[in-house]
Amino acid sequence: MISVAEIGHFALILAVGVALYQFVVPLLGAQRGDVAAMRAGISAAILQLVLIAIAFAALVHAYVTSDFSVLNVVENSHTAKPLLYKISGVWGNHEGSMLLWVLILALYGAAVAVFGGNLPLELRARVLAIQGSIGLAFLLFIVMTSNPFIRVDPPPIEGNGLNPILQDPALAFHPPFLYSGYVGLSIAFAFAVAALIEGRVDAAWARWVRPWTLVAWMFLTVGIAMGSWWSYYELGWGGYWFWDPVENASLMPWLVATALVHSAIVVEKRNALKIWTVLLSILAFSLSLVGTFLVRSGVLTSVHAFAVDPQRGAFILMILCVFIGGSLTLFAWRAPQLKAGGLFAPVSREGSLVLNNLLLCVACLAVFVGTLYPLALETLTGDKISVGPPYFDLTFGPIVLPLLLLVPLGAFLAWKRGDAGLAVKRLVLALVLALGVGAVVFALDVRGPWLAPVGMAVAAWLVFGAIADIAAKTALFKVPLATSWHRLIGLPRSAIGTAVAHAGLGILVAGIIAISLWRVEVIVALKPGESTPVGKYTVTYVGEGPLTGPNYSGRVGTFTVKQGDELLATLHSEKRVFRPSGMPTTEVGLYQTWHGDVYVVMGDETTGGARAMRMYYNPFVNFIWMGAVVMFLGGLLSISDRRYRVGAPKRAAGLQPVAAE
Amino acid sequence: MRKLLVVLAFLVAVQPAFSLTPDEQLKDPALEARARAISAQLRCLVCQNQSIDDSEAPLAKDLRTLVREQLSAGKSDSQVMDYIVARYGQFVLLKPRFEPETLILWGTPFAVLLIAGAAMILRRKRGQVAPETPLSEDEKRALERALQ
Given a cut of 70, whether residue A348 has pLDDT beyond it is yes
Interior/surface letters A553-591, b for 16+ CB within 10 angstroms, e for the rest: ebbbbbbbbeeeeeeebebbbbbbbbbebebbbbbbbbb
Interface of A with B in 374-403 (CB under 8 A): 377, 381, 383-391, 394-395, 399
Chain B contact set for A606 (CB, 8 A): 21-23
Name the pTM for this structure: 0.89
Which residue, among A411, A421, A405, has the nearest Cα to A469 in the 3D structure?
A: A411
Angle at A218 between CA A216 and CA A221, to 5 degrees: 110
B27 secondary structure, DSSP code: S
d(CA A416, CA A422): 15
Q: Return the higher-pLDDT residue of B147 and A209.
A: A209
Given a cut of 90, whether residue A659 has pLDDT beyond it is no
Tell me how far the alpha carbon of residue A496 is from its chain's centroid: 22
d(CA A195, CA A338): 9
pLDDT value, residue A304: 47
pLDDT value, residue B1: 42
Contact at CB, A399 and B113, closer than 8 angstroms: yes
pLDDT value, residue B106: 93
Question: Could you give all domains of chain A from N- to C-terminal order, each with its CATH number?
Answer: 1-167 (1.20.120), 183-400 (no CATH), 401-518 (no CATH), 520-622 (no CATH)
Chain A contact set for B2 (CB, 8 A): 242, 244, 302-303
Burial (CB count within 10 angstroms: exposed 0-12, middle 13-18, buried 19+), residue A506: buried
In B, minimum Cα distance to A373 occurs at B105
Nearest residue, CB atoms, A386 vs list B21, B96, B104: B96
Given a cut of 80, whether residue A278 has pLDDT beyond it is yes
d(CA A462, CA A630): 13
Q: Does A308 touch chain B (CB under 8 A)?
A: no
Q: What is the mean pLDDT of residues A17-42?
A: 94
CA dist list (Å): A589 to A603, A617, B7, B71: 12, 12, 21, 34
CB A172 within 8 A of CB A84: yes
How close B26 comes to chain A (CA, Å)?
12
Nearest residue, CB atoms, A388 vs list B21, B43, B106: B43
How close A374 comes to chain B (CA, Å)?
9
Q: At what angle are helices A94-115 and A274-296 packed, to 10 degrees?
A: 150
Strand A589-593 to A596-605 pairing: antiparallel
Among A13-17, A311-315, A417-421, A653-657, which stretch is predicted with the lowest mean pLDDT? A653-657
Q: What is the mean pLDDT of residues A124-141?
A: 96
Q: Does A604 touch chain B (CB under 8 A)?
A: yes
How close B138 comes to chain A (CA, Å)?
26
pLDDT value, residue A300: 63
Nearest residue, CB atoms, B94 vs list A362, A377, A389: A389
Contact at CB, A242 and B104, closer than 8 angstroms: no
In A, minimum Cα distance to B41 occurs at A390
How close A190 comes to chain B (CA, Å)?
27
Contact at CB, B116 and A358, closer than 8 angstroms: yes
d(CA A142, CA A583): 29
Interface of A with B in 401-460 (CB under 8 A): none
CA dist list (Å): A260 to A72, A281, A286, A357: 38, 7, 13, 8
How close A255 comes to chain B (CA, Å)?
14
A659 secondary structure, DSSP code: P
Q: Does A244 touch chain B (CB under 8 A)?
A: yes
pLDDT value, residue A136: 97
Nearest residue, CB atoms, A386 vs list B17, B19, B91: B91
Nearest residue, CB atoms, A304 vs list B1, B15, B90: B1
How close A8 comes to chain B (CA, Å)?
31
Per-residue pLDDT reduced to its tens digit, A507-524: 999 999 998 888 888 888
Given a cut of 60, whether residue A401 has pLDDT beyond it is yes
Contact at CB, A362 and B113, closer than 8 angstroms: yes
d(CA A244, CA A388): 8
Residues found in chain B: 148
pLDDT value, residue A303: 41
As a whole number, the mean pLDDT across chain A is: 88
Nearest residue, CB atoms, A245 vs list B3, B19, B49: B49
pLDDT value, residue A315: 87
Q: Does A167 touch chain B (CB under 8 A)?
A: no
CB A360 within 8 A of CB B112: no
CA dist list (Å): A271 to A4, A240, A338: 52, 40, 11
Contact at CB, B112 and A362, closer than 8 angstroms: yes
The residues with which A180 forms a beta bridge, in sequence order, are none
CB B92 within 8 A of CB B46: no
Q: Which of A323-327, A333-337, A552-556 has the highest mean pLDDT?
A: A323-327
The domain ranges of chain B are 3-92, 100-147
Q: Does A614 touch chain B (CB under 8 A)?
A: yes
pLDDT value, residue A307: 46
Q: Is B3-92 a domain of CATH 1.10.8.640?
A: yes
Contact at CB, A391 and B95, closer than 8 angstroms: yes
pLDDT value, residue A214: 94
pLDDT value, residue A309: 65
Helix (H, G, I), strand (E, B) or coil at A159: coil
Given a cut of 60, whether residue B17 has pLDDT beyond it is no
Q: Does A302 touch chain B (CB under 8 A)?
A: yes
pLDDT value, residue A440: 87
